[in-house]
Amino acid sequence: MRELFTAIGLVLVIEGLLYAVAPGRLKSLAEFASRVSDDMLRNAGIVAVAAGVAIVWAARTFMGAG
């Protein structure tokens, strides 16, 4: 459970940094995303999930569980 809250906290930190450092860029990215097809966004989401799982697996396998 500790890892879940840590992960959620890190997501919020990274997302908050994006809003704080580059709000204009984030707005243009959201505008771009609204013009992209649903299938392309879905595929990008699937790739992001797979990459995240691979990173977590690699970290836990090769760096230890902590």
Is the same domain home to 51 and 65?
A: yes
Same domain for 29 and 45 = no
Tokens representing 31 are 């505008």
User: What is the predicted pLDDT for the residue at 66?
Assistant: 56
Rounded Cα distance, 37 and 55, in Å: 27
Q: Can you give the residue range of the structural domain that contains 65?
A: 37-66
What is the rounded distance in angstroms from the CA atom of residue 39 to the CA atom of residue 3? 31
pLDDT value of residue 60: 87
pLDDT at 9 over 70: yes
Q: Give CA angle at 19 (27, 16), nearest 5°.
A: 145
Q: What is the DSSP letter of 36?
A: S
In whole angstroms, give the CA distance from residue 49 to residue 53: 6
User: CA-to-CA distance for 24 and 20, rounded, in angstroms?
Assistant: 10
Assign 65 a pLDDT band (cuts: 50, 70, 90): low
Q: Is the domain of 27 the same as that of 46?
A: no
Q: Are residues 42 and 52 in the same domain?
A: yes
Task: Specify the pLDDT at position 48.
Answer: 96
Rounded mean pLDDT, 32-54? 96
Residue 64 has pLDDT above 80, yes or no: no
Same domain, 26 and 41: no
Q: How many domains does the chain have?
A: 2
pLDDT at 16: 95
